Amino acid sequence: MRRVALRGLSARPLRTALTALAVVLGVAMIAGTYIFTDTIDRSFTEVFEQANSGTDVTVTPRKVDDDFFADPPPLGEGLVERVRSVQGVKAAAGAIFGEVSIRKPDGDPVSANSFVSSLQPEPFEQFRFTTGRAPRSDAEIGLDEDTFRNQGYELGDRVRIVGDEGARRFTLVGAARFGEQASIAGFPVAIATLAVAQALTGQRGRVGGISVSAADGLTAPLLRGRVQAALNGEAVTVRTGEEDASAQAADLQDQFGFFRTALLVFGGIALFVGAFVIYNTFSITVAQRTRELALLRMLGASRRQVLRSVVLEAAIVGLIASLLGLLGGFALVPALRALLAAIGADLPQTSSVIAGRTIAVSLLVGVLVTVVASIVPALRATKIAPISALRDGLTAPARAGRARLAVAGLLCLIGAGVVAYGLFGGASGGSAAATLGAGSVAIFLGVALLSPQLVRPIAALVGAPMQRLAGISGRLARENATRNPARTAVTAAALMVGVALVAFVSIFAAGLQGSIDRAVDRAFAGDLTVGAKSGFGETPPAMLSTLRRVDGVGSVSSVRFSEAKVEGEKGSTSVGGIDPQTLARVYTLRWKQGSDATLERLGSDGILADTGFSDDARVGDRVTMLTPAGKRVTYVIRGLLDEGSDFGLLGGGLVIPNARLREDFDVTDDAFVFVRFAQGANPARTRAAIDRTLAASFPDARTRDRQQVKEQQAGQINQLLYLIYALLALSVIVSLFGIVNTLALSIFERTRELGLLRAVGMSRRQVKRIVRLEAVITSLIGALLGLVLGILFALAISRPLEEEGFRLTFPVGTLALLVTLAALAGMLAALWPARRAARLDVLRALAYE
C-alpha cells in the first residue's frame, strides 16, 4: 500500500502540488514568525551581554507591579555614591540610555527610533571609538559607526538632536563600535556625556541604572548580596551582570510575545483555511478513484489498508509541504520586516536564527493539519464496496444529510456559547482572546457543514444575472456550481473564513473611527492640538511654556496619561492628567455630577472619576491606589464624568491634576496639548507662528486642527487595518488556490461532458466562460457567507463596548468592494483551469472514461 500511495502521488503531480501549496503558505507564516522573532531575540540578547561584559553587578529600578505597562522611574543619582561606599566595590557608575531624535543635515530624522547613551568610565564603557575620539565636553557627541558611515557624516559636523528640552546642536568628534558591532542592534545611537544624556532624556539628576565592578577576589554573587543589603528599602533590583542580561532578554521576549502570537494566529488562520482545501481535494480524488479503490478491494486489500494508503498520501503531502514552508519562512522574514517598517517599527537587521523548535513545530503542524483534514475522505474511501469496480458512474458514499445538519447546528450553538462566554464571562487578555478564537472556529466549522444547504439558493441568486448576461454559459455555470453542493460549499467555505475576518475588521475599524470622530466633534473646544508628528509618543513639558509665549495664543492645556492599581479593582486603571485651571477653555467636559467649576475645587487631593472607571463611584469616595512610581496614595472623588459613554479622550478612568501626576506618578511628558487662539487673533497667522516655533525647537511635534485630528486618528487605525489586511491576505490566497484546485480536478471529472459540449458546437471561448463564471459563483457564495458572519461577529464584539461610547458603523462601500474583489479573485483563480478546459482535445475527451 505504500507503493500504491507513492504511485498515486507521482501519477497526479498537479493535484499534489496544488494541495501542498495550501500547507506551504501557512507553514511559511509560522516558520517565518519564529525565525523573525528568534532573530530579534538573539540580536538584543547579544546587545545585553555585550553591555554587561565588564559589569559584575547591576542596580536598576524595580517595577512595583507586573500589571503596569509603564516603566518605573529612574534612580536618584545619589544612589551611585551609596553603592561606591559598599565594601568590595571597585568602581560604580550611573548611566542613561534613552530615546531621542538624531536629525540629518536636511532636518529629517535618521531613523524612526534613535537613542542617546551616556559615556561611562572603564571597565563599563562598551563603545570603542574607531574614528576620532570620545566626547570630552557637553558640546560634543559621538555616533555609532553605522550611522556615521551610512548618513555621510564627517568629523566636525554640527549634529542636531531633539530631546526632552528641545533641539540642540553638538559637534561630532568621533564614531564608535559597540564591542565588535558597528551599532547597537542596528539602531542609531549618539554617545554623550552623562549630563548631556540626562538633559536630552529629561532625567537631570537621575540615572537609568548603576554598573558595579567587584574588587579583586570578590565574586559577583557575593558583591550582589552586599549591595542589596546596603540598598535595603530602596525600590531597586540588584542582579549580577549575567543575571541582568538574561532578565533584559526575557523582558524583551515578553514584549514581543504579543507580536509573535498575533503572527502565529494569522499563520494558523491560513492553515485552517488550507484544511478546507485539503479536505476538498482528497474528497474529490477519492470520488474520482472509486473504481481504482474498489479494484484494490477486489484484489484483497482490507479497509484498513485503503485507509492507510489515503492517510499516507496525506502525510507525504504534508511533509513535503512543511519542508517547503520551512524554506519559505526564510523568504518571509524580509517581508515581515518590511511590513513592520511600513508602520514605523524599524527593527535591526542581523543574520537569521532558526531554532530546533521552529523546525519541529513547522513539520508537526503541517503534517498534522494535512492528515487530520484527510481523515474523513479516507474513511469514506474505506466504505467503497469491491463490487463497485464493475459499475459505471461511480461516486464515493457521502455522509447523510441529517447527520451533517445535526453536527452543524451543534457546532454553531457551541461556538456561539463560547463566544458569549469570552465576551461576558469575565475573562480578560489572552484567555478572552483564546476563548473568542475557539468559539469562532466552531462557528466557522458549523457554517461550513451547513453551507451545502445554502449553495442552491445563493447560486440561484448570484447566478441569475449571469444567466441573463451570458446566456447558456451562465446557466451551465450555475448548474455546475450546484451539481455537487457539498464540494462547492467546502470550496466556498475556505474563502468564507478570510472574507468574514476582513469584513469584521473593516466594520469594527469603521465603528472605532466613527466613535472617535464623534468624541472629537463633541469635546474639542480649542483651535489646535500639538502632539508627536508620528501620532505616537509624547512631547516634553518645556514645549508648553514655549507655546504660551507665541503671539496670538490664548490658552494652552496639556493632557498626560499613566495607570494605577486601585484597591478593590482588578488589573490596572487608566489615569488621565489635566491642568484644572485651563482645561475647560479648550475641552468640553461631559459631566454626570459636577460642573466646570468643580475643576477649581479639586485641590491637592481631588480627582474626577469617569463612568469608564466604575458605575458605583460616588462624589466623596476615597480612592487608594498604587502608582508606577511605587507610591501608595489616596484621593477624594470631587466629580463624576460621563466621558466613557461617548468614547472620551481622557482615558475613561480616573482624571488627576498634572501636578499630582508629576509628583505621585513621575509622569512629566505630555501626550498632547490643546491650544486655543486669543480673542481677535488671526488663526492662519497664529498657527504659522506656532509651526515656526516648533520647527526651531521641537521639530518632532506638529499642529493639527479638528479635521486633522480625525485624519490622524484615522491614519493610525488604517495603519493597523492595512497590516491586518496584509496578514489576512495569506488566508485569502490559500482559499483561491482551493478554487483553482477544485476547478482543475472537476475538469478531469467532466472531461467527457466538455468533449460533448465541444462536439455539439460550443466554442472554446464559451467553455472558458463557463469555468470562469462557475468560479465567480463559488467565490460569491463564500463572500456572502463570510459577509454575514463578519457582520454577526462585529455585532457580538461591539455589544460590550457600547457602554464606553463605541457605535457600530457599517462601511457599505468597503463591504461592497470586498464582495466585488472576491468575485474578481474567483475569476482570476479560474484563468488557468478555464484555459485548460478549452484546450481539451474533442476526440480524446469523448473517449475518456
Same domain, 515 and 564: no
Same domain, 187 and 236: yes
So what's the pLDDT on residue 597? 92
As to burial, measured by CB atoms within 10 angstroms (0-12 exposed, 13-18 middle, 19+ buried), residue 725 is: middle
CA distances from 826 to 297, 489, 731, 823 (A): 39, 14, 14, 5
So what's the pLDDT on residue 259? 76
**Contact assessment for residue 540 and residue 669, using Cβ atoms and an 8 Å cutoff:** yes
* 3-class SS of residue 610: strand
Least confident of 108-117, 747-756, 834-843: 747-756
Q: Whole-angstrom Cα distance, residue 604 to residue 599? A: 11
Residues in contact with 688: Cβ distance below 8 Å, sequence separation at least 6, in sequence order: none
Does residue 328 sit within a domain? Answer: no
Q: Whole-angstrom Cα distance, residue 803 to residue 612? A: 8
So what's the pLDDT on residue 579? 94
Q: Which domain holds residue 720?
A: 433-524+708-849
Q: Which of 492, 692, 670, 666 is nearest to 578 (CA)?
A: 670
What residue type is 333 in one-letter code?
A: V
Bond prior to 13 in cis (omega within 30° of 0):
no
Same domain, 535 and 458: no
Q: Match 459577509 to its residue by C-alpha cell.
A: 787
557 beta partners = 674
Same domain, 669 and 582: yes
Q: What is the domain count for the chain?
A: 3
Q: Whole-angstrom Cα distance, residue 103 to residue 109? A: 4
Least confident of 8-12, 86-90, 318-322, 672-676: 8-12
pLDDT tens sequence across 16-40: 676 777 788 888 888 888 888 888 8
So what's the pLDDT on residue 190? 96
Span 630-638, average pLDDT: 93
Q: At residue 530, does pLDDT exceed 60?
A: yes
Q: At residue 194, does pLDDT exceed 90?
A: yes
pLDDT tens sequence across 559-578: 999 999 998 888 788 899 99
Q: Which of 558, 553, 519 is nearest to 701 (CA)?
A: 558
Same domain, 572 and 717: no
Same domain, 539 and 453: no
* 3-class SS of residue 26: helix
Does residue 735 sit within a domain? Answer: yes
So what's the pLDDT on residue 429? 57
Mean of the per-residue pLDDT values for the chain? 84
Same domain, 643 and 700: yes
CA distances from 319 to 129, 350, 365, 414 (A): 51, 29, 10, 33
Q: Match 508602520 to its residue by C-alpha cell.
A: 343
162 beta partners = 101, 167
CA distances from 149 to 187, 377, 426, 480 (A): 13, 61, 54, 64
Read off the DSSP letter of residue 388. G
Q: Which of 750, 162, 760, 789 is nearest to 451 (CA)?
A: 789
So what's the pLDDT on residue 309? 81
502 versus 71: the higher-pLDDT residue is 502
Local confidence band at 170 (pLDDT 50, 70, 90 cut-offs): very high
Q: Whole-angstrom Cα distance, residue 404 to residue 400? A: 6
Local confidence band at 393 (pLDDT 50, 70, 90 cut-offs): very low
Q: Whole-angstrom Cα distance, residue 473 to residue 463? A: 11
Domain final position from 683, 704, 725: 704
Does residue 549 sit within a domain? Answer: yes
Q: Which of 537, 526, 505 is nearest to 717 (CA)?
A: 505
Span 378-388, average pLDDT: 72
Q: Whole-angstrom Cα distance, residue 845 to residue 849? A: 9
64 versus 394: the higher-pLDDT residue is 64
So what's the pLDDT on residue 396? 45
Q: At residue 557, does pLDDT exceed 60?
A: yes
Same domain, 154 and 214: yes
Same domain, 777 and 671: no
Local confidence band at 674 (pLDDT 50, 70, 90 cut-offs): very high
Span 642-649, average pLDDT: 65
Domain final position from 704, 721, 756: 704
Residues in contact with 254: Cβ distance below 8 Å, sequence separation at least 6, in sequence order: none
So what's the pLDDT on residue 229? 94
- pTM greater than 0.85: no
Q: Whole-angstrom Cα distance, residue 195 to residue 173? A: 17
So what's the pLDDT on residue 289? 65
**Contact assessment for residue 711 and residue 727, using Cβ atoms and an 8 Å cutoff:** no
Read off the DSSP letter of residue 218. -
Q: Which of 529, 507, 502 is nearest to 710 (CA)?
A: 529
Q: At residue 8, does pLDDT exceed 60?
A: no
Classify strands 189-192 and 97-102 as parallel, antiparallel or unpaired.
unpaired
pLDDT tens sequence across 208-228: 999 999 999 899 999 999 999
Q: Whole-angstrom Cα distance, residue 576 to residue 563? A: 8
Does residue 135 sit within a domain? Answer: yes
The string of DSSP codes covering 140-200 is EEEEEHHHHHHTT--TT-EEEEEETTEEEEEEEEEEEEETTBSSBTTB-EEEE-HHHHHHH
Local confidence band at 340 (pLDDT 50, 70, 90 cut-offs): low
Read off the DSSP letter of residue 653. S
Residues in contact with 478: Cβ distance below 8 Å, sequence separation at least 6, in sequence order: 459, 460, 463, 464, 466, 467, 773, 777
Widest Cα–Cα separation across the chain: 102
Backbone angles phi, psi at 64, to 5 degrees: -75, -20
Q: Whole-angstrom Cα distance, residue 214 to residue 219? A: 7
Does residue 748 sit within a domain? Answer: yes
Percent over 70 (pLDDT), the chain: 90
Does residue 292 sit within a domain? Answer: no
What residue type is 425 in one-letter code?
A: G
Least confident of 246-255, 291-300, 374-383, 571-580: 291-300
Least confident of 77-91, 655-669, 740-754: 740-754
What residue type is 321 in one-letter code?
A: A
Span 602-624, average pLDDT: 87
Span 420-435, average pLDDT: 71
Local confidence band at 390 (pLDDT 50, 70, 90 cut-offs): low
Span 521-527, average pLDDT: 87
Does residue 392 sit within a domain? Answer: no
- Give the best-scoring range by mean pLDDT among 344-348, 552-556, 720-724: 552-556
As to burial, measured by CB atoms within 10 angstroms (0-12 exposed, 13-18 middle, 19+ buried), residue 100 is: buried
Does residue 378 sit within a domain? Answer: no
**Angular region, 344: left φ>0, alpha ψ -120 to 50, beta rest:** left
Residues in contact with 728: Cβ distance below 8 Å, sequence separation at least 6, in sequence order: 266, 269, 498, 501, 502, 505
Same domain, 606 and 665: yes
Q: Whole-angstrom Cα distance, residue 594 to residue 580? A: 14
Read off the DSSP letter of residue 524. B
What residue type is 116 in one-letter code?
A: V
In the structure grid, which three cell numbers stand for residue 257, read together?
510575545
Least confident of 308-312, 331-335, 534-538, 685-689: 534-538
Least confident of 654-663, 784-793, 804-813: 804-813
Domain final position from 218, 252, 286: 252
Q: How far apart are the first and last CA of the chain?
A: 24
Same domain, 775 and 690: no
- Give the best-scoring range by mean pLDDT among 200-204, 416-420, 451-455: 200-204
Same domain, 539 and 657: yes
pLDDT tens sequence across 465-479: 888 888 888 888 888
So what's the pLDDT on residue 397? 46
